[in-house]
Amino acid sequence: MNEFDKELIRRAKRGDIEAFTLIVKNYKTYVFQTALGILADRMEAEDVTQDTFVKAFKGLAKLRDVETFPSWLATIATRRAYDAAKEKQKQMSHIEDLDASTVNSTQEHYTGVENRMVLKSLLAGLTPEERTIFVLRELEDKNYQEIADILNIPIGTVRSRLFNARKHIRQLARADEGRNEL
Amino acid sequence: MNCELIGEHLSAYYDKELPPNEMGAVASHLANCDACQEALEEYASIAGLFVQAVKTELPCANLEFSIANQLRQDATEYEMRRIRLSAIATAVALLCLVTGLLVSPVGRTMWRIGSVITREVGVLLTWYQQSSFAIGTIILATVCIGLGVVCFLYLLRVIRKFEPI
């Protein structure tokens, strides 16, 4: 983090919204991509990004060391996206009579955008916890201890969930290849 | 170590999160197992595909402005709540003060002081002798008006501060 960013954070700590707007400009991609990785939905990722920055601004006064701002912000974003993914999963489990045609049309909505399709297909079937751990490891390059600290879970759970996530993604990729060959 | 046992270890090996002795055991297994090598390569290609898919997506250009607007809106609402609370607190304080002055010994003392002042400076305040008001009442009224003016000025200051937002 450069001196200019540190000065912006100090100003934002004193309630300067203009300074915080510049911080948002510098960090929005980082937060958005973390949220997108976990949620695989652009609209939801933008909502989570907005919530993350609003929450960060309100809690900024409590941040003692400005140097830790990026990791502090990433933790807020990850937890917020993880909660949103859990909430979404809960809502989806309540929709029992969702017929196959609805599912197909929802999937077709993404076929136009290759990246989102890749994301959707890679993350389909993973639990919110597995997705979050996978994103923290592959996108944020966090080690197991850091992931365990962010999600407040034991390090052994991180290891097993990550293994399950990879196993699941591999199975999906193979099933996909099988369908393409047919 | 066989392929079934290696499962979770292979994922941790890929992340370089195994203790050195286990890293060695997995590495020696990998040297003789094509299936596990393939799995390891798949981990890397899946990660690459995932990171590429995410990194090419960008948030909307004006996101910082909508966040700034929301923050300003929140600040305005907070200020509104503060004004309402200030107004209520000021009114309650004023009421308590006036009631306190009227019923407490301070009020009675003021009344007596008023009587003494009236007696001593009665000559100077000849107009008072014709009136039916006690000097204590006048002092009390003056204090209340003074407090009212202070409260009004305070509220005016808060409202003026609020207006530019």
At A90-101, the pLDDT tens digits run: 777 655 444 444
Contacts of B65 in chain A (CB under 8 A): 21
Q: What is the pTM of this model?
A: 0.69
B104: left (phi over 0), alpha (psi -120 to 50) or beta: beta
Q: Which residues contact B110 (CB under 8 A, 6 or more apart)?
A: B101, B136, B139, B140
Mutation target among A8, A20, A28 for the B interface, most CBs of B within 10 A = A28
Chain A: give the shortest CA distance to residue B31, in Å. 21
Q: Which of A28, A162, A173 sits opposite B63 (nearest CB)?
A: A28
For A143, residues 6+ apart whose C-beta sits below 8 A from its C-beta are B15, B17
**pLDDT in tens for each of the 165 residues of chain B?**
677 778 778 899 999 999 888 888 889 888 888 888 988 898 898 888 888 888 888 888 888 899 999 999 888 888 888 888 887 887 787 777 777 676 666 667 777 777 777 676 665 655 555 555 566 666 766 777 787 788 778 777 766 765 544
Q: Which residues of B touch A40 (CB under 8 A)?
A: none
Nearest CA in chain A to B67: A50
What is chain A's Cα-based Rg? Answer: 18
Cα–Cα distance between A108 and A103 in angstroms, integer?
A: 9
- Burial class (CB within 10 angstroms; exposed 0-12, middle 13-18, buried 19+) of A170: middle
Q: CB–CB of A49 and B42 under 8 A? A: no
- Secondary structure of residue B133 in the 3-state scheme: coil
Structure tokens at B26: 């997995």
